[in-house]
Amino acid sequence: MFQAIHETVEYIKRKTEQFQPEVGIILGTGLGVLVKEIEVSFSLMYPNIPNFPISTLEFHSGKLIFGTLNGKKVVAMQGRLHYYEGYSMQQITFPVRVMKALGIQYLFVSNAAGSLNPDIKKGDLMVINDHINLQLESPLRGRNDADMGPRFPDMSEPYSRKLIEKAMEIVTEEGITCHQGVYVSVTGPNLETKAEYKYLRIIGGDAVGMSTVPEVIVATHMNLPVFAISVITDEGFGDVLHPVSLDQILETARVAEPQMTKILSQLISKL
């Protein structure tokens, strides 16, 4: 993996004139508007980047964006990767390794998620303060490279408390409806049954999705502070579980996204 990371980083440096980002951003399903806030310097398509996995989802554009956001140099993944697409955990998290090697000091992650908590409604935002990993395997499985991180990384604080505190100050100042909660990561791509939603709530989840945790584990492995936020696009609680379509999820994400973008943008400016 070290050789693959080196090759990818050297290619990106050549194509971006040695651009050195301070912040890495992963944009989730239906959440690409933040890119419009970036003063773009360079844009690379995933298929053109050596060793880089290619997003197979039609609603993920698959671009690596380099530029400036509120005075900070950033690199943004416009289109993330998922385990259910058929990639290994190492492939999914490879971009995080690359962004760290490029020089990022913080990782910001967004996703679309379903609510498990009746107090958190469709269209709300939820800052992730902890997670439960129900994915099939860890991205750290296999031989460990001590130069990247320890064999047994501590996971007592995978999400930076300092960044969460700053984000919640922004939420209060802007009057944004935003909660804190525990994110449950599942494999997907199917949504959950009524019994599964109930189970996920019982074990401590506030929202459920199919991403984020693998990237956070790898970031923690590399001692990279993380801030993560979910747009709640559907509800998985109550006696009656209503069917939900991808179009509905994307539309809810579209409506809620400006508030999420405001939080991320202002938080980055305060780093």
To 5 degrees, how large is the angle CA 146–CA 149–CA 150?
Answer: 75
pLDDT at 84: 92
**What are 15's two structure tokens?**
């194509």
CB-based contacts of 117: which residues, under 8 Å, 6+ apart?
179, 181, 201, 206, 207, 237
Residue 27 in contact with residue 80, Cβ under 8 Å?
Answer: yes
* Distance (Å, whole) CA 87 – CA 118: 33
Domain 2-269 falls under CATH 3.40.309.10: no
Q: Parallel, antiparallel, or unpaired for β 226-235 and 106-115?
A: parallel
For residue 225, the model assigns a pLDDT of: 98
Amino acid identity at 10: E
The answer to whether 134 and 42 are in contact (CB under 8 A) is: no
What's the pLDDT score for residue 33? 81
The domain spans of the chain are: 2-269
**For helices 161-174 and 246-269, angle between their N-to-C axes, nearest 10 degrees:** 100
Q: How far apart are CA 131 and CA 34, in angstroms?
A: 24
Give residue 2's pLDDT: 86
Return per-residue pLDDT of the chain as tens, 271 residues.
Answer: 889 999 999 999 999 999 999 999 999 876 778 888 999 999 999 999 999 988 766 555 689 999 999 999 999 999 888 999 999 999 999 999 999 999 999 999 999 999 999 999 999 999 999 999 999 899 999 999 999 999 999 999 999 999 999 999 999 999 999 999 999 999 999 999 999 999 999 999 999 999 999 999 999 999 999 999 999 999 998 777 888 888 888 888 889 989 999 999 999 999 9
pTM for this prediction: 0.95
What is residue 247's predicted lDDT score, i.e. its pLDDT?
87
Rounding to the nearest 10 degrees, give the CA dihedral for residues 177, 178, 183, 187: 50
pLDDT at 108: 98
- H helices of 59-121, where? 89-102
